[in-house]
Amino acid sequence: MLIKKPADIRPSEITDPADYAGRRAFLKTAAALGIGMVAGPAAALVKVPGRGTPMSGLVDTPYGDDLEPTGYEHVTGYNNFYEFGTGKEDPAHNAHTLKTRPWNIVVDGECEAPGEIGIEDILKAFPQEERIYRLRCVEAWAMVVPWVGFPLGDLLTRFKPTSKANYVTFETLVDEQQMPGQRRAVLDWPYREGLRMDEAMHPLTILATGLYGELLPNQNGAPLRLVVPWKYGFKSIKSIVRISFSRTLPETTWWKRAPHEYGFYANVNPEVDHPRWSQARHRLIGEGLFSSKHRTLMFNGYADQVADLYRGMDLAKFY
Amino acid sequence: MRTILTHDRWLRFVAKPVLFSACLVPFVLLVKGALDADLGANPLERVTDVTGQWGLRFLLLTLAVTPLRRLTGWNRLLRFRRMLGLFVFFYISLHFLTWVWLDQELNWGNITADIAKRPYVTVGFTAWLLLLSLAVTSTRGMMRRLGRNWQRLHRAVYAIGVLGVLHYIWLVKADLLQPLIYAGVLALLLLVRWRPRLFHGVMSLGRPINVR
């Protein structure tokens, strides 16, 4: 069964009819029926490295067609995931202790149909798209990641958020046995992140289940993580076990820890420096020691799609 | 011709070259890593981290010479102190150069702005300036010329230690464990100097100390 409670949601309630007009929706339908996904778009998917569990029936999308993905070794060997240690190579070394099956995500708060959904159901219910996105870390380095996932909004609508749902909060698993980094109170566990409802429903915002055509490696936030490509990486919370709709602004981990350094919005913005370093440029992972930095783009290069969300806001104040 | 390996010769022709080579190992490994393009996903971060950490380690080693001399009574340890101190300068200069050249890409406007407005940079830069002044006055000739002032000037090494550790604490995002370990060792080394009585039982093992 897809959703434990309630189980009676019809597809017409899930997907906005307008979506059916689009190309992606056609592919979704095709994928759901298990047809026609072998030829055509599949040819343009990134090459699978053969290191993890391959995912079948992936939907190709135009997102990031012009971007060159960062090498698999770097994408999976260099990242921040403090639950497995504070060094950038710690997650790759330590995340093998995480058990990603079975894995349920509780959805609650301001919604009509709170419930729980398992990762296997998620993988079956939502057509899994490949989207190549830029990832910009608040520490002024960046990567290009070929994610596999689906729009967060597609999942959220199933739980029928009410009109009082102004924000969505996400929580990472807390389990010292599986996540040895949590034995020290480096952060206030569980890791929490949040989005404004319109940010959450934005078509660029996805829940990722894989990368490089394979199920997410543990160190990258298996089995399910958020990806918000126009925000600094720390917003894209990993190994999610809970999603809550709320009326008020959620207290998110880094923002609460150092509010003068990390804001709730955390939109990539070359004009607003981190107090300790400039955000104007970044280093692209995979390039050599002597290669120059790259200019950071407003909203990480996604301004055309997302700038409207913040019209009229002082981005130096709401950083 | 008779070869007598006196203590002095042993120091000059064996111990010092061995120590010198050992101190160069982190640098040689970095160069090798750079040539093999084997410095991880973020080579700049690696080089910055390695040079900064070794600079701090050599600084603590330098500060440990006098307490160790008291502990062991082996006064010749003092003969290694200048070399260790100059290696602090070497690694921190590499660290600074990495920042100026590879990180800031010689953008002097940004460099001076960062030194002025970002406290951890200000502190780090100040420490490097102090190190520079100690390095250029580290020769015998300078010691002679400066007389009593030489020692006064070289007490700046304590300030450098404090600034270095502060620099590290301020640049860390959340996990203070590493910099606090350095801070702890530094505090211990300073206490040994300034509150020797606390360590009386241990320190009395050595011979009486002639101040230098």
Query: pLDDT digit string (tens) for A171-199?
Result: 999 999 999 999 999 999 999 999 999 99
Mean pLDDT computed over A271-288: 95
Give pLDDT, residue B10.
85
Touching B: A residues 89-108, CB under 8 Å? 89
Give pLDDT, residue A42.
43
- Amino acid symbol at B148: R
Spatial CB neighbours of B124, under 8 Å, sequence gap ≥ 6: B96, B163, B164, B167
From residue B71, how far is each of A281, B80, B158, B209 by CA, in Å? 51, 16, 20, 10
Confirm if A116 and A105 have CB atoms less than 8 A apart: yes
**Given A184, A257, A285, which is nearest B41 (Cβ)?**
A285
The ipTM assigned to this model is: 0.85
Decide if pLDDT at A19 tops 90.
no
Count of A-B CB contacts under 8 Å: 50
Confirm if A205 and A153 have CB atoms less than 8 A apart: yes
Mean pLDDT computed over A126-144: 98
Give pLDDT, residue A26.
45
Pairing relation of β-strands A192-196 and A167-172? Answer: antiparallel
- The gap from C-alpha A293 to its chain's centroid, in whole angstroms, comes to 25
Least confident stretch, A23-37, A133-147, A270-284: A23-37
Taking the Cβ of residue A292 and every Cβ of chain B, the question of whether any pair is shorter than 8 Å is answered with yes
**Given B44, B173, B174, which is nearest A283 (Cβ)?**
B44
Decide if pLDDT at A265 tops 90.
yes
Give pLDDT, residue B203.
61
Confirm if A277 and A137 have CB atoms less than 8 A apart: no
Give pLDDT, residue B3.
57
Tens of pLDDT along B38-55? 999 999 999 999 999 999
Least confident stretch, A130-134, B116-120, B185-189, B208-212: B208-212
DSSP state string for B44-99: HHHHHHHHHHHHHHHHHHHHHHHHHHHHH--GGGGGGHHHHHHHHHHHHHHHHHII
**CA closest to A187 among chain B residues:** B174
Chain A partners of B40 at a C-beta cutoff of 8 Å? 78, 88-89
Mean pLDDT computed over B14-20: 94
DSSP state string for B129-145: HHHHHHHHT-SHHHHHH
Least confident stretch, A32-46, A212-226, B64-78, B149-163: A32-46
From residue A63, how far is each of A45, A130, A148 by CA, in Å? 11, 8, 11
B41 and A77: CB-CB below 8 Å? yes
More confidently predicted of A8 and A133: A133
A141 and B174: CB-CB below 8 Å? no
Query: What mean pLDDT is reported for chain A?
Result: 90
Tens of pLDDT along A208-234? 999 999 999 999 999 999 999 999 999
CA A107, CA B129: separation in Å to the nearest integer?
Answer: 56
Give pLDDT, residue B11.
84
**CA closest to B43 among chain A residues:** A289
In chain A, what are the domains?
11-136+146-259 (3.90.420.10)
Give pLDDT, residue A32.
46
Give pLDDT, residue A30.
46
Give pLDDT, residue A24.
47
Taking the Cβ of residue B40 and every Cβ of chain A, the question of whether any pair is shorter than 8 Å is answered with yes
* Among the listed residues A292, A311, A315, A280, the one whose alpha carbon sits nearest the alpha carbon of residue A136: A280
| Three-state DSSP state, A88 | coil
Least confident stretch, A40-54, B41-55, B86-100: A40-54
- Amino acid symbol at A308: D
Q: Longest Cα pair distance anywhere in chain B, in angstroms? A: 64
Chain A partners of B114 at a C-beta cutoff of 8 Å? 278
Taking the Cβ of residue A185 and every Cβ of chain B, the question of whether any pair is shorter than 8 Å is answered with no
Mean pLDDT computed over A291-296: 95
pTM as predicted: 0.86
